[in-house]
Chain A
């Protein structure tokens, strides 16, 4: 009798989080204004996991909030609008889990896989398996640079993301009252091909200036796993090695930028030209307060909608070349590339960009000490 009680308790404890989680999705649905039919959408997502025509394989939920927070709901909306069955799963940073998810999707009869790979090697393996089964693959946001590559690549042009950082910071760096500004580059994870592309972007702007001796590259380091705590230590040590003499920082995203700001503040140093990416609430707050110069905003809704459209086109065996004329070479083949243009956000255009799109709200940004920097709204 006692034992049964314990087992019952264990089952209750097991199912409690699941019950809570379902409640949670509805809550997030009611907060975001665009999701009018959220509860229904959820039901479709769950009931159609088997027999889904399109399978979306998301990478993780820890390194970026976008996958579960934004991509998922935009895909749900887009596929529901098209009236197509779909499933969305998340590999939580585990490349082998993602491979299993791909196999399951193929077994369940998926015709198109929307893949955000965890690294190019495992991505190539998934593509090879899919191709064998006659399933089309879309590389979503991350290009698989191993193997023959996917059928389509949908992404923001990541080199452009980096180049925009370079171009926005250049006038700020040139305006500094120092003869040779000393620059630091803090890049993203080395395992993420996008991090390499961002770096290529800002380096393409900065390299000629380094070579001409107009700017000096103090340090150029990668942050493992995009981990902000590690970014903090890395930047503190760069500052120490340089005796605090750093004039501008190319930071690959808002999280790394916030680590830079934290290190500057605790060492009693002032703001400097500093880039960022993702238009997070924290990034926008730092921009308003004058600690960050810019962030690159990539409207995720546009990216997800473009990918959904491409997936439907592949599903209906339509010619993908009507969607884009661009291609990108993944090392072996030229892959049709649906390229989206990112947007630079600075103090001057916050209202017209992230706020106007409903991506951020003044209510979440203008809290506490940041309220003083906010315009009347």
Chain B
């Protein structure tokens, strides 16, 4: 279930039966949630501010238009893969194969795009995604049919798909991508006017959705947030969007991959929070036995989740390949797996299942990439980079564990 609405329903029983909360009540509730350990995105935004201040004082090029655009492009791969990881974590499971599954998609696409094969870009991408979706289904089926821990099955997957990548690339070492459309996924920047058009559509879409939901809840006699807050939320998003587009336009413009990220984000927020499937995922993750007794086909949901995880990894792999304009034998390795899972966790998706949002993939990837990006500007040694990234991840899981304990103590969890 959507956490916020769930809580709003619950609160309506505590306080009174309907109508809009007053501003002071709303702020009181918000503070109560933070106090009992439901931090939402509060600590992440705080963390991002701290990161920005530290790096900006160390290197004045951190908060520049060029670096903002860099940041959007650099975070795209992690965000996309992390969205899939969020679903898996919601179930309280793990998918260790996402790194190399992403590479499988990239290699499949790159091989089909070679001039001697001559596939059109959409066919190559479609086949690559179909392949990884199939991989996800197989892994999911093995996990559910044989009641194996997902950690072991996807660990085997990690090895298998790494091997498949090596076999597919073979002696070439690198497969160069020449298809201009595929390259433009991560390397094309929208002209100024188009950037603004996208911003307007996005703000309008958000405002419309937000206001609609408010009216809907009010008509049904449910508790609603104060009108002021609704307007403040819309205004905040508008300011953020307009600033981003304005700053990006000073540099190369809004990257296409930024738009793709927003679309993925919107689609998955809808899927996770406004569809029956999404609610079932939260239910299974919260308590698998009660979900089963409530008549949910638990295994079907789990297989679907592993399919989504592989599919999003595949999309991420294609984005990464487009950025590098090639796929090499090291694709999917390095710190890709760790960073993608870390992104979901840092963003606030619980490792214990049942709690988290698609937003967390986005925010967590922003944190990870900001740190990576800033350390690159400072020219720190690889050793320092590993230590810092590890500490950020450790801080995130500690916060997760502590807030979880807080929720248990105050009886919310």
Residues of A within 8 A of B (CB): 17, 21, 24, 28, 61-66, 68-70, 190, 219-222, 224-230, 232-234, 236-238, 240-241, 243-244, 254-255, 258-259, 261-262, 265-268, 278, 280-282, 285, 364, 367-371
Contact = CB atoms under 8 A, between A and B. Distances in A.
B187 A266 contact: yes
B67 A65 contact: no
Nearest to A6: B146
Contacts of B178: 367-370
Given A225-B334, A233-B74, A369-B178, A65 B169 contact: yes
A225 B70 contact: no
Interface string B43-77: 00000000000000001010010110010011001
Contacts of A24: 167
B326 A258 contact: yes
A368 B187 CA distance: 19
B329 A62 contact: yes
What are the 5 closest A-B residue pairs judged by CB atoms, nearest first? A237-B376, A65-B173, A69-B171, A368-B115, A224-B382
Interface centre among B70, B77, B174 (most CB of A within 10 A): B174
B334 A367 contact: no
A238 B376 contact: yes
B334 A266 contact: no
A6 to B, nearest CB: 8
B61 A221 contact: no
A220 B187 CA distance: 26
Interface stretch (B317-325, B351-359, B399-407): B317-325
Contacts of A370: 178
A313 B374 CA distance: 53
Interface in B26-42: none
B170 interface: yes
Nearest to A365: B176
A281 B252 CA distance: 31
Interface string B327-360: 0111101111000000000000000000000000
Interface string B173-198: 11010100000001100000000000
B320 A237 contact: no
A282 B326 contact: yes
B377 A227 contact: no
Contacts of A280: 173-174
10 contacts: A62-B330, A64-B173, A69-B170, A222-B382, A229-B330, A243-B66, A258-B174, A261-B325, A265-B325, A280-B174
Contacts of B385: 224
B167 A21 contact: yes
Contacts of B329: 61-65
B273 interface: no
Contact of B66 (A224, A227, A244, A369): A244
A70 B326 CA distance: 21
A219 B379 contact: yes
A243 B65 CA distance: 11
Nearest to A93: B333
Given A62-B330, A190-B382, A282-B174, A229 B66 contact: no
Given A232-B323, A240-B377, A367-B115, A62 B166 contact: yes
Nearest to A266: B187
Given A236-B74, A280-B174, A230 B334 contact: yes
Contact of B377 (A65, A69, A241, A244): A241
Given A229-B334, A237-B376, A255 B328 contact: yes
B372 interface: yes
Contacts of A226: 330
B69 to A, nearest CB: 9
Q: What does DSSP make chain B's interface, helix, strand, loop or mixed?
A: helix
A267 B252 contact: yes
A281 B326 CA distance: 12
B97 to A, nearest CB: 16
Contacts of A222: 381-382
Contact of B333 (A219, A227, A255): A227
A227 B334 contact: yes
Interface centre among A224, A237, A255 (most CB of B within 10 A): A237
B344 to A, nearest CB: 19
Nearest to B369: A233
Nearest to A66: B173
B116 interface: yes
B379 A221 contact: yes
A86 to B, nearest CB: 21
A63 B329 CA distance: 7
Contacts of A367: 114-116, 178
Nearest to A63: B330
B252 A229 contact: no
B24 interface: no
Given A21-B167, A280-B174, A371-B115, 15 more contacts: A64-B173, A65-B170, A68-B166, A222-B382, A224-B334, A227-B334, A229-B336, A230-B335, A236-B70, A236-B74, A237-B67, A258-B176, A259-B324, A367-B116, A370-B178
B186 A266 contact: yes
A63 B169 CA distance: 12
Contacts of B373: 233, 237
A220 B61 CA distance: 18
B172 interface: yes
Interface in B105-155: 114-116
Nearest to B376: A237
Contacts of B66: 240, 243-244, 267
A229 B324 contact: yes
Contacts of B115: 367-368, 371
B334 A28 contact: no
A145 B61 CA distance: 40
B174 A229 contact: no
A36 B94 CA distance: 48
Contacts of A255: 174, 328, 330
A21 B333 CA distance: 22
Contact of B376 (A61, A236, A243): A236
Contact of A65 (B74, B172, B325): B172
A234 B171 contact: no
Nearest to B67: A240
Given A28-B170, A69-B171, A285-B176, A237 B382 contact: no
Contacts of B186: 266
Contacts of A68: 166, 171
B383 to A, nearest CB: 8
Nearest to B372: A233
Contacts of B77: 229
A9 to B, nearest CB: 11
Contacts of B162: 62
A258 B376 contact: no
